[in-house]
């Protein structure tokens, strides 16, 4: 089911100051896709999620879930959480400690006054789906973290909600389990063909799990798109920096050419991917991802985007070398093939394809 959010704002007042948790946010979340809100803590992602589910009352704006308007400050509509028909997995899982697994999962059906035999078969089916068959009579608190997480998921799914929401559900799991659960979750959600809204501050989680990522900062959505697109073609310095390890170098536009935009910066002059909206003299930021900086052996045959630097540090991490090189007064992160024979102290030439020299706005 599609979700449409229009001009949503939420303010907090503390100590005489107004904090904009959500600053006039408008967006539309397509049906049956996994949609992720990504951002640092305090960026408003959780507030936005809580507004959609109805646990938070925004100051202005409108939210439509499918054809139903669940919130409109103008028309004075506020559908309470319990009538929005959604499912949600909380960061703490919120498993009720005084109930067993069956009653935890059956609860949404019980509140909807579903007949008992239907409840039993639906709970069984959902528990089978999350691979918790036979756990019905266990006290919920006696489960491991990963199992509690799946109980929470089963509870969110059991009433076949139109939309399911996740508030950092993996952050309490250890690294290995987190990776497995992330993979399982993607399979579950794709199989179910359900609209999922997922909140996280973990970029790898966002990139690997989602169909669409929206990066938030300061109560606003900075950029939104498919994970690969956001990673490779970001327009904003904040997004480029947040979504992956990168080198950000202050630069000045020198010329617009037919297929490239040329800039000058502390480590030399670069031909970059064309951005027609810039004029010579504009201040921009050059964004170089470490994995696109190639080590160049032998003489410099290409004249474009080659620079010479001294290797300051180098760490072998198995699938690659990670290191820092010094060029003039700047330090640049690199990531290069594990079979390179470079050593600390070496001086080497490096090159970047113009298409991987991204110009972003400050």
Partner 1 sequence: MVNKRSVLTPALIALVGFLTVCPVVMLIFGSFSTGLGAFGEFTLDKYIQGYTDPELGGIILNTIIFVLGSSFVATGLALLLAYLNTRTDIPFKFMFRIISIIPMMIPHILFSVSWVLLLNPSNGLINLFLRQIPGLENLAINIYSLPGMILVEGLLDLPIAYLILAPAMASFDISLEESSKVCGGSTLRTLFRVTLPVLRPAILAAFILSLVRSLASFAVPSVIGMPGRIYVLATHIYQSIATGFAADFGKAAAIGMSVLATSITLIYVYRYLTSESEKYVTISSRGYRPSVIELKGARYPMFGLVGILSMILIVLPVLVLLYTSMVPYSMIPSAKAFSMMSWKHWIEVINDPISLLSLKNSVFLGVFGATLGVTLSIFVAYVIVKVRSHASGLLESLSFLSFSFPGIVIGVGFMWFFVRTPLYATIWTLLIGYIATYLPYGVRPLTSAFVQVHSHLEESSQVCGAGPFTTMRRIVIPLLIPGIVSGWILMATMFVRELTLSVVLSRPGTEVLAVQIFRFAEDGLWGQLSALGIMMIIISTALVLLATLVGMKFKPVEE
Q: Give dist(CA 86, CA 4) in Å, integer.
A: 15
- DSSP characters for 1-43? --EEEEEEEEEEEETTEEEEEEEEEEEEE-TTSEEEEE--TTS
Interface mask toward partner 1 for 106-145; x: CB under 8 A: -xx--xx---------------------------------
3-class DSSP assignment, residue 81: helix
Q: Give dist(CA 60, CA 74) in Å, integer.
A: 8
Q: What are phi and psi of 165, to 5 degrees?
A: -120, 145
- Of the candidates 5, 25, 86, 130, which one interacts with partner 1 according to CB under 8 A? 86
Of the ranges 83-91, 118-126, 284-292, 329-337, which one interacts with partner 1 (CB under 8 A)?
83-91
Note whether 81 binds partner 1 by CB under 8 A. Answer: yes
Kindly tell me which of 55 and 177 has the beta carbon lying closer to partner 1.
55
Kindly tell me which of 91 and 254 has the beta carbon lying closer to partner 1.
91
Q: Give dist(CA 123, CA 109) in Å, integer.
A: 9
CB of 245 to partner 1, least distance (A): 31
Kindly tell me which of 43 and 53 has the beta carbon lying closer to partner 1.
53
- Strand segments, DSSP code E, in 291-351 are 294-296, 306-316, 321-327, 330-336, 347-351
Per DSSP, helices labelled H in the chain are: 45-53, 101-111, 116-129, 145-157, 175-192, 203-209, 227-233, 237-243
CB of 74 to partner 1, least distance (A): 20
CB of 110 to partner 1, least distance (A): 9
- Give the pair of three-digit tokens for residue 41: 């803590």
Kindly tell me which of 84 and 201 has the beta carbon lying closer to partner 1.
84
CB of 39 to partner 1, least distance (A): 21
Note whether 91 binds partner 1 by CB under 8 A. Answer: yes
Q: Give dist(CA 128, CA 143) in Å, integer.
A: 16
CB of 162 to partner 1, least distance (A): 13
Note whether 79 binds partner 1 by CB under 8 A. Answer: no
CB of 338 to partner 1, least distance (A): 36
Q: Give dist(CA 64, CA 188) in Å, integer.
A: 25
User: What are the residues whose beta carbons fall under 8 Å from the beta carbon of 194, sequence distance 6 or more?
Assistant: 32, 157, 161, 163, 164
CB of 82 to partner 1, least distance (A): 5
- Of the candidates 79, 99, 192, 361, which one interacts with partner 1 according to CB under 8 A? 99
- Of the candidates 44, 58, 87, 309, which one interacts with partner 1 according to CB under 8 A? 87
CB of 16 to partner 1, least distance (A): 13
Q: How far is CA 226 from CA 206, 214, 229, 244, in A?
A: 10, 9, 5, 15
CB of 360 to partner 1, least distance (A): 37
Kindly tell me which of 94 and 351 has the beta carbon lying closer to partner 1.
94
Interface mask toward partner 1 for 149-188; x: CB under 8 A: ------xx--x-----------------------------
Could you say which residues in the range 54-73 bind partner 1, by CB under 8 A? 54-55
Q: How far is CA 99 from CA 104, 119, 134, 151, 270, in A?
A: 6, 16, 16, 12, 63
- Residues lying near partner 1 in the complex (CB under 8 A) are found at 53-55, 80-88, 90-94, 96-100, 103, 107-108, 111-112, 155-156, 159
């Amino acid at each position: 089911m599609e979700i449409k959010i229009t001009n949503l704002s939420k303010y907090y007042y503390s100590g005489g100051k107004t904090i904009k948790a959500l600053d006039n946010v408008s967006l539309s979340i397509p049906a049956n896709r996994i949609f992720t809100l990504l951002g640092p803590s305090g960026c408003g992602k959780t507030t936005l999620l809580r507004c959609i589910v109805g646990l938070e009352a925004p100051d202005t704006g409108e939210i439509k879930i499918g054809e139903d308007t669940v919130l409109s400050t103008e028309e004075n509509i506020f559908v309470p959480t319990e009538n929005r028909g959604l499912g949600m997995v909380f960061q703490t899982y919120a498993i009720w400690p005084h109930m067993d697994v069956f009653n935890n999962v059956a609860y949404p059906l019980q509140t909807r006054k579903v007949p008992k035999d239907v409840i039993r078969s639906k709970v069984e089916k959902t528990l089978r789906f999350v691979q918790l068959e036979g756990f019905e009579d266990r006290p919920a608190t006696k489960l491991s973290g990963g199992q509690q997480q799946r109980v929470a998921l089963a509870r969110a799914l059991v009433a076949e909600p139109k939309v399911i929401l996740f508030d950092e559900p993996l952050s309490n799991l250890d690294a290995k389990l987190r990776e497995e659960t992330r993979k399982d979750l993607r399979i579950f959600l794709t199989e179910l063909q359900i609209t999922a809204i997922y909140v996280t501050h973990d970029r790898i989680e966002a990139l690997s799990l989602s169909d669409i990522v929206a990066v938030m900062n300061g109560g606003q959505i900075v950029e939104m798109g498919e994970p690969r697109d956001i990673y490779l073609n970001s327009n904003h310095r904040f997004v480029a920096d947040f979504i992956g390890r990168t080198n950000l170098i202050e630069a000045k536009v020198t010329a617009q050419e037919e297929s490239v935009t040329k800039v000058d910066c502390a480590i030399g002059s670069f031909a970059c991917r064309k951005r027609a909206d810039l004029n010579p003299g504009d201040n921009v930021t050059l964004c170089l991802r470490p994995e696109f900086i190639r080590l160049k052996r032998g003489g410099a045959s290409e004249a474009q985007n080659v620079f010479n630097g001294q290797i300051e540090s180098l760490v072998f991490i198995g699938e690659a070398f990670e290191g820092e090189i010094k060029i003039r007064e700047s330090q640049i992160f690199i990531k290069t093939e594990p079979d390179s024979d470079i050593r600390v102290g070496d001086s080497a030439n490096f090159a970047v394809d113009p298409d991987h020299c991204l110009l972003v706005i400050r």
